[in-house]
Chains A and B, each alone.
Chain A
Amino acid sequence: DGGITQSPKYLFRKEGQNVTLSCEQNLNHDAMYWYRQDPGQGLRLIYYSQIVNDFQKGDIAEGYSVSREKKESFPLTVTSAQKNPTAFYLCASSIEPQETQYFGPGTRLLVL
């Protein structure tokens, strides 16, 4: 079955710690995206990548970093510079940047 997987489902971060959220897709999609969702708010774009080895900042990139070394993988690192990381993180992909985005199941990040 083709799809987008995110792991872990829940992630706990200690003060000053960097954590990495995984996003993998086997849909052969070129474009991938990371969104942050806070309660009662819409999704906000963190980073996006339209093709392998290239990515751009979204609207709230500060305190986050990404890499796109393989077409199927787009990991997101939440660094210690992100002072309010508690949120639900959603990864999405599309076959081409202008096509429909499909979402993974999400990772909930909590701070200890």
Chain B
Amino acid sequence: GDSVTQMEGPVTLSEEAFLTINCTYTATGYPSLFWYVQYPGEGLQLLLKATKADDKGSNKGFEATYRKETTSFHLEKGSVQVSDSAVYFCALSETSGTYKYIFGTGTRLKVLA
């Protein structure tokens, strides 16, 4: 079945550092890909998405490009802030017709001032 693998955390960075969180997927079809962010004690918020190969999703300085050839959707930000500290989840929508989402295990980011 479809699956998502993302890098283990925690990731600890200093403010203004460059961020990359790796995400790779396995899917039989052409899924839509998502990054969600979760702040402590809250639900998930959609950060960005891409629906087809070579699409770039972007929001609040975060970017991710749908790479079909490497089955990847890595999250990047050029300069992180303390307020970016959260857990980030990569997800895909199944292509089997159920439209279920498959989530990665999450990557905790901690940004130090």
* Residues of chain A at the chain B interface (Cβ within 8 Å): 4, 6, 31, 33, 40-45, 48, 50, 56, 58, 90, 92, 94, 97-98, 100-106
Q: Which residue from chain B places its CB closest to the CB of A90 in the assembled complex?
A: B43
Complex-state Cα separation, A97 to B96, whole angstroms: 12
The secondary structure that dominates the A interface is strand
Query: Would you call A101 and B101 a contact (CB within 8 A)?
Result: yes
A43, A50, A56 pick with most chain B CB within 10 angstroms: A43
Minimal beta-carbon separation of B96 from chain A (angstroms): 12
Query: Which of A42, A45, A48, A100 is in CB contact (< 8 Å) with B104?
Result: A42
Number of residue pairs A-B, CB distance < 8 angstroms: 51
Could you pull out 26 A-B pairs where Cβ atoms are within 8 angstroms? Answer: A31-B99, A40-B105, A42-B4, A42-B89, A42-B104, A43-B44, A43-B103, A44-B103, A45-B101, A50-B99, A58-B100, A90-B43, A90-B44, A94-B99, A98-B99, A100-B32, A101-B46, A101-B101, A103-B36, A103-B43, A103-B44, A103-B45, A105-B42, A105-B43, A106-B42, A106-B43
- When distances are taken between beta carbons in the complex, the residues of chain B under 8 Å from A44 are 103
Complex-state Cα separation, A104 to B38, whole angstroms: 11
Minimal beta-carbon separation of B112 from chain A (angstroms): 22
A33, A42, A104, A105 pick with most chain B CB within 10 angstroms: A42
B30-73 contacts to A (CB < 8 Å) = 32, 34, 36, 41-46, 49
Query: Would you call B34 and A97 a contact (CB within 8 A)?
Result: no
Query: Would you call A100 and B46 a contact (CB within 8 A)?
Result: yes
- When distances are taken between beta carbons in the complex, the residues of chain B under 8 Å from A45 are 100-101
Per-position 1/0 for B89-104, Cβ under 8 A of A: 1000100001111011
